[in-house]
Amino acid sequence: MSDTRRRVKVYTLNEDRQWDDRGTGHVSSTFVERLKGISLLVRAESDGSLLLESKISPNTAYQKQQDTLIVWSEAENYDLALSFQEKAGCDEIWEKICQVQGKDPALEITQDPIDESEEERFEEMPETSHLVELPPCELARLEEIADLVTSVLSSPIRREKLALALMSEGYMKKLLQLFQVCEDLDNREGLHHLYEIVRGVLFLNKAALFEVMFSDDCIMDVVGCLEFDPSLVQPKKHREFLTKTAKFKEVIPITDSELRQKIHQTYRVQYIQDIILPTPSVFEENFLSTLTSFIFFNKVEIVSMLQEDEKFLTEVFAQLTDEATEDGKRRELVNFFKEFCAFSQTLQPQNRDAFFKTLANLGILPALEIVMGMDDLQVRAAATDIFSYLVEFSPSMVREFVMQEPQQTDDDVLLINVVIKQMICDSDPELGGAVQLMGLLRTLIDPENMLAPTNKTEKTEFLSFFYKYCMQVLTVPLLASTVDEKNCKDLQEGSTKINPVCPDHFQTAQLLALILELLTFCVEHHTYHIKTYIMNKDLLRRVLVLMNSKHTFLALCALRFMRRIIGQKDEYYNRYIVKGNLFEPVINTLLDNGTRYNLLNSAIIELFEFIKVEDIKSLIAHIIDNYYKALESIEYVQTFKGLKGRYEQEKDRQTLRLNRYRRDARTLDEDEEMWFNEDEDDDGEAIEKSRPEEEFPESYGKYMEAKKVKESDNKESFPKRTPTGSFKFTFSYSAGAANGTNGANCKPATSPTSAASPNGSPAKSAAPPATPVVKTAMVGLVDYPDDEDEEDEDEEQSPRKRPRLGS
């Protein structure tokens, strides 16, 4: 196997101008017959496969950076880089490239692309003119130097010649020494020239110059030069920030001096790029590409060096989970890991996988379980960011850890329950942290990322675990908010009885909306588990209590939850809704909404339209039998008339079946005997003749009598008008109607037509209610197909009713 001098990583530049790692291997230069020339070959160290085969073209510009990088472009949008483990290997390959192209290995770049006119102009120059002649490095010549640096930026070959001149005889260090003189003399003109010089040198985009400028003894002088922008009245104070405000904290002492120096350098160079330098124009955006690469490879090196130092990381984890660690120290440790994970995002997938596996093996998840439950808000926020990196990297890894946790008596110590509690207890008025945590929970319970072929039982096992140990924690605020409406009324009326989970409190309403969004996701993706939970907890009834919230967004969330349930078209759900009369709060909300033309109205109409279009017979029959009297006056859409039509069609079909199959046995016997007694020569007159109704008076009479009795039994009470002019239903039901248990009556407490008896069921009305006359003037958001039947009718519209789109 080749020695470590030839060990390299192969990188390609993607469309986002980020370097992608293509693998690690060993490089060689050899003649390839197929390519007809000397080529660079890189074979993977893992399996010997070919990672790179690139012919050294005489016209390709190769660039050497940071002593261990060789970068070049093989096509217009295809940049390559070789990152060597050792400088000696880089020098060896660089010499081979220069030998093929006939270039001096002392150059940092073999050639730059230039236009034809410039090439012709420089061909006329004497061959001895390799370098730009620089003025003496003196205070009096600073303006001349600044003009020279600015003038070469438009010419690639002159930029290269200037860079070579600046690197000779320590010219850059001499310039930076002049900065100290100018600052001591408060020579503003000289300082402004130095700003132009240093800025122009950075735009030369040369790695060799960066190595000099960003060294420990030069970088603060570079920052100082960039403080004196001529366009500013007063200079910036970047050095003061870097030396006094920005403090480097070693959470664990770093013994590797090279690693410490690399961390300092990377922070300061990143500061120069992001803060000090102005945003480059369209024509300058490629001038700093080498600076971006410099920072990128520095970060890769830092992560690799820390990852390989297992003693350092082990000590960090030990202090992080130690109960004796002071709060301030623990805060610094968590912030360190947050930055560590952020740096890891610069790694390519293979390296990032190894990075997170290292953290997992060292115990990052048990440590997060401890720190996420602490009272310190900063610690919890940083721990949440780390947790998001882990979930984004591998949800399966997090799920596997959670299911392997020892089953303790207190479910609150489970990692997912810690996350849920942090979401519920978020103190941010906008619930920013809760939104982030809800997204992480959604990722963890999403079956779409549980389909890995290596673990086919993951979905079943994890969902069973989640619904057994975690779902009850998630729904605590929802169940608490819908258990008693009296507390909410007290809060609205300014009572001293303040219920912290009242759904009319804005922050709580936001939290309930997040929980409902997650439950709606579960209905859509967890068919069996969520269905069982909804039935056992009578959850839909509790959710629909929120239809009374003064926050429309929360009422819409509750309605969306019911819409997803009905959208499953599952007869178990349908029977549950019918037995519990769960359309009542929805219809009450529709009637309370009155003539308002808004999203709530449209969403409710869409719910019923879906039932009609999908022809869900059990729900249609329930709606028409129980609520049609209150809905039949709504004519701005044809939804409810359409439901009635569907209902009548199904009723007619059932009637036909009764007439066809429920004749009594005696009538059937007479028909058969009559048929056999017919003469064979008869033309079938007896068969074609319709039998009169008198032939089955008994069966027909029984059927009509039974029909009248049934219609009489099914006749319901009309809704009564409330003081606001809307209607409320007062059907008697209980939670036990749906799940076989005795539950609280969830009839709206403001109903004027009933009063709850001690056992939870409503008392009977003293007198039958009067027949209501409901007139509603509204406009549909859309025209449904059935609307065409009504377009010819001359209907007088209310002043508040806008015409339909089709009228």
Candidate from 33-42, 549-558, 619-628 with smallest mean pLDDT: 33-42
Burial class from Cβ neighbours inside 10 Å (0-12, 13-18, 19+) for residue 194 reads buried
DSSP code, position 241: I
- Phi-psi region at 151: left, alpha or beta (left = phi > 0; alpha = psi -120 to 50): alpha
What is the token pair recorded at 787? 């609307």
Candidate from 191-200, 371-380, 701-710 with smallest mean pLDDT: 701-710
Candidate from 312-321, 471-480, 543-552, 609-618 with smallest mean pLDDT: 312-321
Sheet holding 62-65, edge to edge: 50-55, 37-44, 19-32, 7-13, 78-84, 69-75, 62-65
Find tokens 């390609």 and name the residue.
12
Higher pLDDT: 187 or 123? It is 187
Candidate from 271-280, 513-522, 617-626 with smallest mean pLDDT: 271-280
Confidence of residue 573 (pLDDT cuts 50, 70, 90): very high
Higher pLDDT: 449 or 512? It is 512
Tell me the H-state helices in 6-127. 87-101, 116-123
DSSP H or E segment with residue 24: strand 19-32
- Average pLDDT score over residue span 537-544: 94
What is d(CA 416, CA 369) in angstroms, rounded to the nearest whole number? 9
Which amino acid is it at 501?
V
pLDDT at 676: 53
How far is residue 363 from each of residues 317, 441, 724, measured CA to CA in Å? 7, 21, 61
Confidence of residue 317 (pLDDT cuts 50, 70, 90): confident
What is d(CA 510, CA 492) in angstroms, rounded to the nearest whole number? 17
Candidate from 248-257, 403-412, 451-460, 781-790 with smallest mean pLDDT: 781-790
The candidate with the shortest Cα–Cα distance to 556, out of 512, 600, 497, 506, is 600
User: What is the percentage of the chain residues whose pLDDT exceeds 90?
Assistant: 29
Burial class from Cβ neighbours inside 10 Å (0-12, 13-18, 19+) for residue 282 reads exposed
In DSSP terms, 79 is beta-bridged to 73
pLDDT at 490: 44
Can you give the length of the chain in residues? 807
- Average pLDDT score over residue span 527-553: 93
pLDDT at 607: 95
Which residues, 6 or more positions from 47, have their beta carbon under 8 angstroms from its beta carbon?
Answer: none
Candidate from 367-371, 536-540, 585-589 with smallest mean pLDDT: 367-371
* Three-state DSSP string of 559-571: HHHHHHHHHCCCH
How far is residue 227 from each of residues 192, 199, 239, measured CA to CA in Å? 9, 11, 8
- Average pLDDT score over residue span 568-581: 94
CA 290 to chain centre: 33
Is residue 668 pLDDT above 80, yes or no? no
Confidence of residue 771 (pLDDT cuts 50, 70, 90): very low
How far apart are the two ends of the chain, measured CA to CA in Å?
83
CA 61 to chain centre: 42
- Phi-psi region at 569: left, alpha or beta (left = phi > 0; alpha = psi -120 to 50): left
pLDDT at 53: 87
- Contact between residue 226 and residue 272 where contact means Cβ atoms under 8 Å apart: yes
- Average pLDDT score over residue span 555-564: 96
How far is residue 44 from each of residues 1, 392, 637, measured CA to CA in Å? 11, 28, 68
Is residue 461 pLDDT above 90, yes or no? no
pLDDT at 360: 87
Q: What share of the chain is helix, strand, coil (3-state, %, to 5)?
A: 55, 5, 35
Confidence of residue 454 (pLDDT cuts 50, 70, 90): low
What is the token pair recorded at 737? 């109607």
What is d(CA 552, CA 554) in angstroms, rounded to the nearest whole number? 5
Find tokens 């060597």 and name the residue.
84
Confidence of residue 698 (pLDDT cuts 50, 70, 90): very low
- Contact between residue 196 and residue 146 where contact means Cβ atoms under 8 Å apart: yes
Rank 37-46, 162-171, 230-239, 656-665 by mean pLDDT and report only the highest: 230-239
pLDDT at 372: 86
- Contact between residue 752 and residue 722 where contact means Cβ atoms under 8 Å apart: yes
CA triplet 750, 729, 617: central angle to 5 degrees? 140
Whole-number mean pLDDT of the chain?
77
What is the token pair recorded at 62? 């190769």
What is d(CA 53, CA 43) in angstroms, rounded to the nearest whole number? 9
Confidence of residue 153 (pLDDT cuts 50, 70, 90): confident
Higher pLDDT: 177 or 109? It is 177
Angle between helices 364-371 and 377-393 (to 10 degrees): 150
Is residue 142 pLDDT above 50, yes or no? yes
Rank 199-213, 544-558, 717-731 by mean pLDDT and report only the highest: 544-558
Rank 109-113, 277-281, 314-318, 453-457 by mean pLDDT and report only the highest: 314-318
pLDDT at 553: 94
pLDDT at 567: 95
What is d(CA 239, CA 244) in angstroms, rounded to the nearest whole number? 8
Write phi, then psi, for 262 (nearest 5 degrees).
Answer: -65, -35
Is residue 621 pLDDT above 90, yes or no? yes
The candidate with the shortest Cα–Cα distance to 504, out of 553, 442, 445, is 553
What is d(CA 445, CA 422) in angstroms, rounded to the nearest whole number? 17
What is the token pair recorded at 388? 């998001």
Is residue 103 pLDDT above 60, yes or no? yes
Give the CA-trace dihedral at 751, 752, 758, 759, to 10 degrees.
Answer: -40
The model's pTM? 0.62
What is d(CA 364, CA 368) in angstroms, rounded to the nearest whole number? 6
pLDDT at 716: 43
CA 754 to chain centre: 47
pLDDT in tens, 357-392: 888 888 888 888 888 888 888 888 899 999 999 998
- Average pLDDT score over residue span 251-277: 89
For every residue of 767-798, DSSP letters joined together read: SPPPPP--------SS--GGGGGGTTS--PPP
Is residue 592 pLDDT above 80, yes or no? yes
pLDDT at 67: 79
- Please write down the long-range contacts of 153-161, taking CB distance under 8 Å and 24 or more positions apart: 153/200, 153/203, 153/204, 153/287, 155/114, 155/118, 156/112, 156/113, 156/114, 157/112, 157/114, 157/118, 157/122, 158/132, 159/112, 159/204, 159/205, 159/206, 160/107, 160/109, 160/112, 161/130, 161/131, 161/132
The candidate with the shortest Cα–Cα distance to 236, out of 191, 276, 278, 188, is 276
Helix (H/G/I), strand (E/B), else coil: 19: strand
pLDDT at 285: 54
Burial class from Cβ neighbours inside 10 Å (0-12, 13-18, 19+) for residue 385 reads middle
Strands (E), 45-117: 50-55, 62-65, 69-75, 78-84
- Average pLDDT score over residue span 401-409: 70
Confidence of residue 642 (pLDDT cuts 50, 70, 90): very high
DSSP H or E segment with residue 585: helix 584-592
How far is residue 580 from each of residues 40, 391, 738, measured CA to CA in Å? 75, 40, 5
- Contact between residue 643 and residue 623 where contact means Cβ atoms under 8 Å apart: yes
- Average pLDDT score over residue span 540-551: 93
CA triplet 381, 382, 388: central angle to 5 degrees? 90
